[in-house]
Amino acid sequence: MPAVSKGDGMRGLAVFISDIRNCKSKEAEIKRINKELANIRSKFKGDKALDGYSKKKYVCKLLFIFLLGHDIDFGHMEAVNLLSSNRYTEKQIGYLFISVLVNSNSELIRLINNAIKNDLASRNPTFMGLALHCIANVGSREMAEAFAGEIPKILVAGDTMDSVKQSAALCLLRLYRTSPDLVPMGDWTSRVVHLLNDQHLGVVTAATSLITTLAQKNPEEFKTSVSLAVSRLSRIVTSASTDLQDYTYYFVPAPWLSVKLLRLLQCYPPPEDPAVRGRLTECLETILNKAQEPPKSKKVQHSNAKNAVLFEAISLIIHHDSEPNLLVRACNQLGQFLQHRETNLRYLALESMCTLASSEFSHEAVKTHIETVINALKTERDVSVRQRAVDLLYAMCDRSNAQQIVAEMLNYLETADYSIREEIVLKVAILAEKYAVDYTWYVDTILNLIRIAGDYVSEEVWYRVIQIVINRDDVQGYAAKTVFEALQAPACHENLVKVGGYILGEFGNLIAGDPRSSPLIQFNLLHSKFHLCSVPTRALLLSTYIKFVNLFPEIKTTIQDVLRSDSQLKNADVELQQRAVEYLRLSTIASTDILATVLEEMPPFPERESSILAKLKKKKGPGTVTDLEEIKKERSFDMNGSAEPALNATAVTTPSPLEDLLGLGAAPVTNIAPPPSFNGSLLVDVFLDSPSAVAPLAPGSDDNFASPDLASSEVVSEEPADTVHDADELFHKFVCKNNGVLFENQLLQIGLKSEFRQNLGRMFIFYGNKTSTQFLNFTPTVICSDDLQSNILKLDGGAQVQQVVNIECVSDFMEAPILNIQFRYGGTFQNLSVKLPITLNKFFQPTEMSSQDFFQRWKQLSNPKQEVQNIFKAKHPMDAEITKAKIIGFGSALLEEVDPNPANFVGAGIIHTKTTQIGCLLRLEPNLQAQMYRLTLRTSKEAVSQRLCDLLSEQF
């Protein structure tokens, strides 16, 4: 950097800053600033031309005033003029002012861009560095458009100085992060990889950061970086601290570069080349060996740098999950940190071991540290470390240690921090169910859980225990006996009353032979809790009472007296009052046979994924330790040595917690047909229209979204897919509904839930990984016409299961947008495209009209080009109620008593776009004898009439 001469001290600036600091009040400061602003303004507008030094001084003062929080509305042109100076200090101040004060919409942006281009072309390394720093600091889309094509050329040019290469790499990284679509991939990508071999480690460090980010999105372009990264890492790891003297930090050679290289290698699977793989293994072994060596310095900076490299190396070992020896060594090294005096190290060790526990190679090694982890749970002072200890116990749990771990977690639950109690409850419930050999132990565990932490036991937990008890005949009697005994405690949690009421209502007869639990005693015990409970629990108990009428006719009169009491029949709550009236009437007029039929036992629930596990994932967030359950599924299945469905944490009739995420609400458990079981489905719970009451679907029914045929249309290639998975049958299902499964093959399931209002919409896209292997570099992209705009919130590969697309209808459109998905699975590049069901009718707003208004408007749209008619054969049964639902689902208002023929259906609505509104009238005339329909659409635009007619015709 050029030397700063004496004249660059800017004494006037120093005096001004001193005056500001000496101000005794805010008013005095403002007065001094206003005086200075007036002086600067007069200098800039004066007839006498200012020299570079004066411009620099006054621009500096303006910058200081702006940083104090005052608005600056002049001086920008003077700052731009400083960019053309040949003096470093003047140019530096100009760039600093522009980086801080000039926004991307400024009228001066063209002048600024020209000045930057001149500096980039000057080949003066100092000026080029200033220009690159300015581009990176501003980082706007306009900057990316202007310079994204130039910077890669500077980066890979042979005559570019090292300092400029560093700045160019980091500048390009900044532009790629803000505007990835504007950074072109080209010949430079293969050349930038070779910067990993550069002699200047600063250039290598900057290039590694750039390549890592680019490789996450374009892995194929940069796969040659793996061998170069391994080679460079090997040279660093095996060198002495004196070999890299300028880049050695407290006796650790180039720790930042080592960490970046290790992160770059985590973008790819293990190297296929045996030589490269062997060299990488040697590097990782060396890092693990160095961790065992005595520290070369007692300063914390030394241990921090050394441990940073170690933990990143362990992350790479876990990512590859292919070297048993390295995985076990990594586990043993982390085990030493579990008792380290440094809290952060204990936390990181627990976190890393959670991931190691998912590997079949290191699971047993992790289990050897169980006593240390349990001790950490009891003695750690930091709640975040205790939480990681809970996560690790959950991750290392299997059939051999389940009872010990569950017991320890229950013990800890009594004194656990309130912030993590709900999470512990969920984990205990999952482990108790998954590894239950004796289901009496499972029932005892859950009841104990409710006793200890009843307030934190969610509905999913007690729903689940009821489902399992109903599904297993061998535990029903024990469950009834156990809940009966638990209810005799003076103070019972309300969740225990719910469980007791439900189980005794179903299986109370199994213990009624014992005089200590006779029918009347059971009833009196439950009714003694009735007045202390909330309305939903009282409603459940009333259902239990009517079940008792069927199970125990001898206490029918007692129960009828309770139902007949004023506190029930005149209850202020409508639900309780209605139940009491209906149950009383049912018990009075129904015969014994009818009662037995209506009030028979709940049928077994179909086996499906546990809603408790889904709730835990939702609470913890994707990408956390709870997601390891999917990774561990195959291994734990083998360990269990059994394929019993209950041990695999399946079967729910309550709505999935994901439905609450979508705002669909939860439905109470009722004695109705359970939802169907979808083998292998990850997302189907989210999309059931009525989660608690869905009959099994026929293969050709409207709501059957499972499509095995789609598996055959998967595209697996190294090139972008030219074909689109049309899946017309599934696509047309979405014309009249907004949620469902859009695509499914053996790897991936894609589900949708969307909402629309006028010309705007929002679509939630859910991705389900049906395999036990993580998808790498998962990149979805929406491609749509100019008439439809979408903004997809991109997420890191495989880290989330939900994405949000914001949609705007600019004008009427015909083609649906395309969702293109790219990811790596098992080392193979996957590329597929599906149509998103965003159709013109989604932007319908229903319009209510009288019969007179409808036909008046109908006549106004009598131009032949405004009407489209289609006569077609019915594809589905001609049911009037289903037809009404589909017309409403299509988006229009269903107008009753408008058409003279009551068998016809008419609708009206308005298509909203950004530029216009298009009125639409429709008339559907069914002919039951001929099994035909005639559909007539009239709108103010012929293309819209045709499109809406085509879409709606497919629904019938």
**Three-state DSSP state, 220:** helix
Residue 477 parent element (H or E): helix 473-487
Q: Dig out the tokens for 252 from the structure.
A: 């650790």
Sign of the alpha-carbon dihedral angle for 891, 892, 895, 899: negative
Calpha distance 262→259 (Å, rounded): 5
Q: What is the DSSP string of 385-396?
A: HHHHHHHHHHHH
User: Given the structure tokens 């411009």, which residue do they identify?
Assistant: 55
The three-state (H, E, C) secondary structure of 687-731, written as one string: HCCCCCCCCCCCCCCCCCCCCHHHHHHCCECCCCCCCCECCHHHH
Alpha helices in 219-342 (DSSP H): 225-238, 255-265, 274-292, 300-320, 324-337
**Three-state DSSP state, 499:** helix
How many CB atoms within 10 Å of residue 872?
12
DSSP 609: B
Calpha distance 507→481 (Å, rounded): 9
Residue 945's contacts (CB-CB under 8 Å, 6 or more residues apart) are 866, 867, 868, 920, 937, 938, 939
Residue 109 parent element (H or E): helix 109-121
The CA angle 683-686-692, to the nearest 5 degrees, is 125
Instruction: Please state the residue numbers annotated as binding site.
Output: 11-12, 43, 53, 57-61
**Three-state DSSP state, 139:** coil
Diameter over CA atoms, the chain: 111
Specify the amino acid at residue 643: A
Q: Are 161 and 193 in contact (CB under 8 A)?
A: no
The three-state (H, E, C) secondary structure of 765-813, written as one string: EEEEECCCCCCEEEEEEEECCCCEEEEECCCCCCCCCEEEEEEEECCCC
Pairing of strands 828-835, 818-825: antiparallel
Calpha distance 547→538 (Å, rounded): 14
DSSP 871: E
The CA angle 195-775-206, to the nearest 5 degrees, is 20
Total length of the chain: 956
Calpha distance 191→155 (Å, rounded): 9
Buried-state track 423-440, b at ≥16 Cβ within 10 A, e below 16: bbbbbbbbbbbbbbeebe
Calpha distance 400→911 (Å, rounded): 62
Q: Which of 736, 768, 735 lies closest to 751 in space, CA to CA?
A: 768
How many CB atoms within 10 Å of residue 859?
9
Residue 517's contacts (CB-CB under 8 Å, 6 or more residues apart) are 481, 484, 511
Q: Dig out the tokens for 417 from the structure.
A: 């921090």
Q: Which of 680, 703, 676 lies closest to 692 in space, CA to CA?
A: 676
Calpha distance 196→186 (Å, rounded): 18
Alpha helices in 5-87 (DSSP H): 11-21, 26-45, 52-67, 76-82
Q: Which residues pair with 803 in a beta bridge?
A: 765
Calpha distance 140→138 (Å, rounded): 6
